[in-house]
Every structure is written in C-alpha cells, then in structure tokens.
Amino acid sequence: MIPAAFDYVAPTSLEDALAALAQAGDDAKVMAGGQSLLPILRMRLGAPETVVDLGRIEALRGVRDGGDHLAIGAMTPYSDVVADPLVAEHAGLLARAVETVADPQIRHRGTIGGALVHADPAGDVGAPVLALDATLVVVGPGGERTVPAAEFFRNLFETAVGDGELLTEIRVPKHTGWGSAYEKFVRVSHQWSIVGVAAAVRVDGGSIAEAKVGLTNMGSTPMRATAVEQALVGKDDSGLADACAAAAEGTSPPSDLNGDADYRRHLATVLTRRAVRSAMQ
C-alpha cells in the first residue's frame, strides 16, 4: 500500500537529527530501521508530516566496551547485536532474545533502539534489557539524560523518550559468566511472541546465586518477574518448579487469537522454568 505523502529527512549526525526533529515539531516520526514504522505508514495507520531517518548516523551504530558495561548504539541492527562477540561474552541474554526476532531480513534492517522506543509489548528486546538492568541514554534539546530500564517503559507503545528526544545508547551492565536463555513461544517462527521469558542466572556451586527474569507480552510493557527472581536464589535444579510458579504474579496479559490471558499466565510459568533451567546449563 502507498503511505500518505511525508517529508523525509536523513541527517548524518545526532545534532542534525535533533535539529530536524525540533524543526518538524509535533508531527514528526523517527525512523530507526523502519520495520514497524513502514507497515504503519503503508497501512495508513499513521500519517506523520515528517519522517526523520536515523539510518545514516554512523555514530549511533555498534557495540563498545564501556568498562563495567557494554554501550550499544541505538541504531545497531539486530543482526549485529546477535553476532557481536562482546554481547556474547557479557550480555548473552540479549543475543539469545534478539536472535529470535522475526526473520533474517527484518533482523538486518531493524534496530535495537528502534524496537525499544516502539515499545511493542510483544517485541523481544524489552524483557532482556529490563532484566539486565540496562540504562538508556536519551538525548534531547536540553541535553543528555540517562533512564534506568525499569523506568523506561511507560505503557503500550509509550516510553520515557519525549517529543524531540532520541534514544542514543543502551548501556548493559556486564553479566560476564552468567548463564542465559530466552524462551519464545510462537505458533509460526516469524511471529511476535505470544509469551517470551528472558532469564539470566549466576550459578555458584550448583545453585543459583542471583537470577534475573524478564517477561515479554505479559502486560502493556515488558515486566520483571521479581517474585521468581527472589525465590530462585539458593535453588538448584530440583527447586525450580516451585520457585517459578509465581511467574505470572502481577501480570496482565492480553487475550487474542493466539491465546487468552489464563493460557498466557500458564505459559509464563512453564516457560520461566524452562528458561531458568536452560540458563543454568
């Protein structure tokens, strides 16, 4: 389908991008890969006057070692995140989750920052970023600020990134030596998650010393299964099922063609157990 007409700006620096956003005013949309935005425009579910494409800002791409954390440029494509050796070593959970996104074509176009700001609760990037206690760097006319992941996701398709602002970097604390797994439940491979569970664990002497669990599509934003995280501490394999039973506590999953809310709650407990077990190995 053909989108409504819009002005297209493709700045090559962050400063130019912010200026373009400021100039375009309220009715601008940022394109960061376009894998969600273009279908929205083409189906005329949205008709911004200006599209600011961040695709030519090289500075926003790539993974950097920031000492105690990894600094991932917001415009780093999914496929680069999956292939990056630093991510594999220090933030394996992110790679495990991102490699399940859609299909190879989309993973080469779509970006990690674009997905986070789009904030589709069925997207696979939010849960691991939340679980790994990442910090998000947001730049706007007033300068740079950092937002903890726990405060980043506000609601369905709504984040802490305000009008005229851009997400520039995702800082993921190093989880070197942690085991991780992402259990994505879908009917067909390229589908959005029906439910997804991101789990990272630090195992010490056969039992869990520390656990982090994020949930995909169990509410209007990605969620942390904090009760499970606490219950898992000190558990070995035999204690997993009990510790994961509360995975759906406090969630409010949707009901749709893929399953009702009760079914999703059930899936969350099963998938959490499986993700944690897999992360321990």
Which residues are at the interface with other proteins (CB under 8 A)?
Answer: 1-2, 4-5, 43-44, 103, 185, 187-192, 194, 257-260, 263, 266-267, 270-271
The answer to whether residues 142 and 21 touch, using CB atoms and an 8 Å cutoff, is no
Q: Which is nearer to other proteins, 85 or 257 (CB)?
A: 257
Q: Which is nearer to other proteins, 242 or 260 (CB)?
A: 260
Q: Compute the least distance from the CB of residue 2 to other proteins, in Å.
A: 5
Q: Compute the least distance from the CB of residue 238 to other proteins, in Å.
A: 17
Q: Compute the least distance from the CB of residue 103 to other proteins, in Å.
A: 8
Q: Which is nearer to other proteins, 167 or 275 (CB)?
A: 275
Report CA dihedral (168, 174, 106, 117) to the nearest 10 degrees. Answer: -40
Q: Which is nearer to other proteins, 4 or 156 (CB)?
A: 4
Q: Compute the least distance from the CB of residue 122 to other proteins, in Å.
A: 10
Q: Which is nearer to other proteins, 38 or 233 (CB)?
A: 38
Structure tokens at 186: 């879908």
Can you tell me the distance from the alpha carbon of 237 to that of 120, in angstroms, rounded to the nearest whole number?
Answer: 33
Can you tell me the distance from the alpha carbon of 173 to that of 272, in angstroms, rounded to the nearest whole number?
Answer: 22
The answer to whether residues 90 and 67 touch, using CB atoms and an 8 Å cutoff, is no
Q: Which is nearer to other proteins, 17 or 194 (CB)?
A: 194
Q: How far is CA 81 from CA 32, 77, 91, 108, in A?
A: 15, 7, 10, 10
Q: Which is nearer to other proteins, 96 or 175 (CB)?
A: 96
Q: Compute the least distance from the CB of residue 197 to other proteins, in Å.
A: 12
β 166-173/158-159 pair status:
unpaired
Q: Compute the least distance from the CB of residue 216 to other proteins, in Å.
A: 15
Q: Compute the least distance from the CB of residue 263 to other proteins, in Å.
A: 5
Q: Which is nearer to other proteins, 161 or 228 (CB)?
A: 228
Q: Compute the least distance from the CB of residue 204 to other proteins, in Å.
A: 29
